Amino acid sequence: MPVARTRSVALLGLAGSIVEVEADLSSQLPGISIIGLPDAALAEARERVRSAATNAGCPLPPRKLTVNLSPAALPKHGSGFDLAIAVACLAAAGEVSVESVDRVVHLGELGLDGRLRPIDGILPAVLAASRAGHDTVMVPSANAAEAALVPGVEVIGVASLLEAAIRHGGEFEERPVEPVAATARGDDTEAPAGDLADVAGNDDAVDALLTAAAGGHHVYFLGPPGAGKTMLASRLPGILPDLPPDAALEVSSIRSLAGRSVGDALSVRPPFEAPHHTATAAAIVGGGSRLIRPGAASRASHGVLFLDEAPEFPSAVLDVLRQPLESGTISIHRANSVASFPARFQLVVAANPCPCGNHGLKGVECTCTPIMRRRYLGRISGPLLDRIDLQVWVPRITAAGLRLAVDRPGLSSAEARARVVAAREVARDRLRGTPWRTNAEMPGPWMRGAGRLHPGGRASAAADRALELGGLTMRGYDRVLKTAWTLADLGGAVAPTREHVGRALFLRRGFDQ
């Protein structure tokens, strides 16, 4: 018999590579050998495949089968190659059509009873197959709905190896099997419910939140306990616009790779991640010894990453965010591979002014010494703060302010989202022909140079003076101008005025630590 070939997908981060699975049958002692740099889980496939084929009703011949995974230098992880190995072996034995097997990309894990079990990462794997020019994939029936989210690909969902063999022309007796259902996921982080109108008072903080949503800016809320910092942060996803199709596909791919439920349709709402302050650096940026998983920063891509009680995070954990805040990507290096994940999120940081939280409050004694306060807030490093566009003090609301808020309701989430969508449309029109969609994404050198978006003259005088006196870094200067453009878009102005730049400067230096 000729060598039988089919294909599967090896995922490294969010990128997938096509792997050619070759099977050869020889007259030697019975057994299955898998070569081509498999990991331990993949090497165990030789036992799973033979038992699954026997119990499913399409046994392999009692001869030597050699399976090669090409390219051999590419690391291959996990049990998602089981189905490809099994159908390649059946084709090599002449039990199914070699031509049919060669046309299809196979993904799935086999149980010992021959049923196919769902695997994580189906969506990015099918997307990689589509981009490589393949238009037909065979997956476990529990993964079929997720795989069908990739346009232009024919998805064949099968419940067992026997069903897969019959689909490829095998003459076997059909056996009814109960498909393995997808396991319920209990670790999903959904965007919190709540309306922006629930926030009483704090007009500056609400204005900062609206500005952040309109321009894609990062925010730092500093204030005493109970001032509403967490409430403000939880309202940000609700005022962000829906995701465009490419972003929605990327967000769903990350969820799939992280082992979270994707559903039968792409979610168009921005994700929200709020890791606990005990999270490690690997939990934030991702990692893993063999299969590299995305962390909270990647899962928040195109959405919001909220760090509540930020000074309680270890400084080393906070500082791992500095590079993704600039580049919008996370690269995780291992000895034989590099995995990359998108990480273009909006960072929202909330902190108390001191460990006891009472510093600066009238009528309440602060028990913290000055050095305790400096050490506490000093855990948020200067370089990280320099990357946060809006830094706002959030005071506690007074009784008078509460009564005023009852008589004069604030901006609702629906109204705020309409303003945000309108402002983003203005920015998108201005940035047409560039790879950027929001003001926060504009590179400073381009904005001041080829983009011709520097306000100049008296409009930027306040920012120029702050830069000259050392109150702003060059990065901070650019971020002030980007915020000014967002304020101009919200206000319907053609270009930032002196008032917009001054307001942007205030929002960046709204409190003195």
The residues spanned by each domain of the chain are: 4-167, 196-441
To the nearest 10°, the Cα dihedral for 413, 418, 422, 423? -10
Pairing of strands 136-140, 154-158: parallel
Task: Kindly provide the residue ranges of all beta strands, DSSP E only, lying in 358-505, ordered along the sequence.
Answer: 390-393
Q: What SS3 class is residue 501?
A: helix
CA distance 85 to 21: 7
CA distance 291 to 183: 20
**319 CB contacts (<8 Å, ≥6 apart)?**
381, 383, 384
36 neighbors 76 (Cβ within 8 angstroms): yes
pLDDT of residue 147: 95
CATH, range 196-441: 3.40.50.300
**CA 393, chain centre distance (Å):** 29
Token pair 């009680």 is found at: 309
pLDDT of residue 410: 78
pLDDT of residue 437: 92
pLDDT of residue 110: 95
CA distance 129 to 7: 9
Tell me which H or E stretch contains 470.
none
pLDDT of residue 190: 56
pLDDT of residue 338: 85
Which residue numbers in the chain have pLDDT < 50?
A: 186, 513
pLDDT of residue 184: 56
Give the CATH class of 4-167.
alpha beta
pLDDT of residue 513: 42
DSSP annotation of 59 reads: P
According to DSSP, the residues that pair with 278 across neighbouring strands are none
Type of residue at 199:
V
The residue count of the chain comes to 513
Can you state the angle between helices 498-508 and 203-215, rounded to 10 degrees? 110
Retrieve residue 172's tokens: 């076997």
